[in-house]
Structure 1
């Protein structure tokens, strides 16, 4: 097991049986989880920059630079393809750099493993962030299937737009498709609180097993007497 089972169960919400208050706060691989979160954010930021900023600016620049004497019926198509390649490179750069930058950020800021676990726990509990990342993943994959990374940028931007509309207009008026398996009142405040509770439970169970084992050993002695 790679230690991301609880993260996957919470992100996908495929079955409420896989998630409880303890598993929600169980974060054995905080650096990997944080790198995944950073990759999502990088994909979203770079898709907006590449698809909505760099693309139109680069298209305007190439159109201005194009000499009317050399313009052909395919000129606009060539410019469009060049701009789409550029936006795809923005996304690729974000996906490649994000895991390394997330590790560098935690190292330079002196973030302890305990602090990082709690940061990841807050991310797991943030419904709006999860909704955004789910929409981005689904729409981005559809876009990638359509036109690889160039299409993935468009898909991610559609996912961001949908998440914003959902947050402001749809969610307040309808029931969510993916409900939180662990309500806010049932959650642990911190990862340390969960670990302390788990430790007490394990200690209680160990003592119970020990007492039962002792009783089972003394019973034959009583019977023989």
Structure 2
């Protein structure tokens, strides 16, 4: 009978049931391998998420205090601590903060991002009233208007403590054109009053110790 499957597979060279079993076996093995790879990928992603979460909660940047002298050398003053009552904010930190405030207030760099950060530092160091005064001061001598037209550098000559909270700063301001020509040098004096307060969340990046300037005046010498 021509429509009957051969009884002996040697005569045809093809075993349909055997081939079906082979194909199904391959599909099962492929499905198992796919499920294993999927499971492995899910486990790897979960581990990565856990590691990322731990990193975000533990590896946070710790602010430090540095002081720059007239030669541009930096002195490490210690890590920031929120324990104000224990006297963690030292006199050296306060004077370094004042030094940086005066420097940032008058400097006109060649990089606009540096200028922006300088101004942000100044506002983070001021109270509401002194910030308003600083804004008026900046309008009279807007560093953004002068940016690209002149370069201004600041050299601190001395910082004198007048009381527990007031300081006198004498400094030099050197102003040149971008090509280095037409130099102008002025000597100035600033008297500042400071206080320590818990910094706001917006101020912590630039003023983590909460050293605030409540008032300031600047005169030419």
Larger radius of gyration between Structure 1 and Structure 2: 2
Q: Shorter-normalised TM-score: what interval?
A: under 0.3
TM-score (norm 2): 0.24
TM-score (norm 1): 0.24
Larger RCO, structures 1/2 (Cα 8 Å, 6+ apart): 1
Higher-helix-fraction structure: 1
Higher-strand-fraction structure: 2
